[in-house]
Structure 1
Amino acid sequence: MPKAPVVSAGVLAWRRGASGPEFLLVHPGGPYWAKKDAQGWSIPKGLVDPGEDGWTAARREFREELGLEIDGEGEPLAPATSSGKTVHAWLVEADLDVSAIASNTFEVEWPPRSGRRQAFPEVDRAAWFDADTALVKIHAGQRPILAEALRRLASGPAQS
């Protein structure tokens, strides 16, 4: 029996900046990502539960990873493949203060083979980035999501 595809859903929040749109990205917590910066950031996202609507999952993951609610309706973007998952994303205009996020946690054996389990935040920081910086920071598999958002913002009424 074929394995079901892994599907994630997330929010690509954007706000109007002085020199163009800025995008909200999150940095994964834990020891494996501690020193990774370029291509180490992501949109807030997570797995879609069986039978769950993607937009509902995206908002839930946003809340779990940042401790913030995302308001408004999301504009669906084309899915992308990232780390073997299909990532569905919604573009939402939002100007949120991410200076003090409250992320859920996960446990992992750390250090490896030590027998000790430690808890780490799923997201250790969040920040707004201009488009050029966001394209460097975002995970390569999610870059098409950001590129599509940039095309839409450049051509749509949202930037008028």
Structure 2
Amino acid sequence: MANKRSAGILLFRRGHGVDGALEVLLGHMGGPFWARRDAGAWSVIKGEYGPDEPPQDAARREFREELGLPVPGGELLPLGETRLSGGKVVTVWALRGDLDPGQVVPGTFEMEWPKGSGKLVEFPEIDQVAWLDLRRAREKILTGQLVFLDRLAELDVTA
């Protein structure tokens, strides 16, 4: 069986603070497994796709589905891919843009909860979205996705 694949967009901007530090938009994963976690529970906005969908198209679709907002205009900058510990391959693009996290209307998923109860419960795919400077983002992002923050920091996105 082929490994699962995910594609996503790492939205970035120059911060609104005094120092104008680079900030990224991350989402806190929804559902009961992540409810009490903060460090290591935030993610690039991404999702799985099948073999017949180009990864860049999947990244744009997942952004719209997970945030309920259109993808900002602009050039997608490739940040490459990484293989997570479970075998999933994640491909990410950086995109300069801005959006108000308060406008997000997250997509949802259903799962049996509590496990073994036979009851299906709907949860948001992401339950919080926030702009974080790179230092804070490194503390919160899933370990397997740290490489994308490093790659973004290496790009010349100062203009």
- Indicate whether the TM-score tops 0.5: yes
Q: Give the structure 2 partner of residue 7 of structure 1.
A: 5
Match of 2:102 among 90, 99, 109: 99
Residues 81 and 142 in structure 1, CA contact (< 8 A), matched pair in contact too: no
User: Alpha carbon RMSD of aligned pairs, Å?
Assistant: 1.1
Q: What is the alpha-carbon distance in structure 2 between the residues aligned to residue 108 and residue 100 of structure 1?
A: 25
Matched residue of 2:103: which SS?
coil
Amino acid at match of 2:4: V
Q: How many pairs are equivalent?
A: 154
Q: CA deviation at 1:53?
A: 1.0
Matching of residue 132 in structure 1 with residue 135 in structure 2: yes
Q: Structure 1-normalised TM-score?
A: 0.92
Q: Give the structure 2 partner of residue 113 of structure 1.
A: 116
Deviating more after overlay: 129-138 vs 49-58: 49-58
Q: Structure 2-normalised TM-score?
A: 0.92
Q: CA deviation at 1:50?
A: 2.1
Moved over 3 A (4+): none
Matched residue of 1:78: which SS?
strand
Amino acid at match of 1:110: W
Matching of residue 40 in structure 1 with residue 41 in structure 2: yes
Matched residue of 2:56: which SS?
helix
> Structure 2 unaligned runs (5+)?
none
Q: CA deviation at 1:112?
A: 1.2
Name the % identity. 45
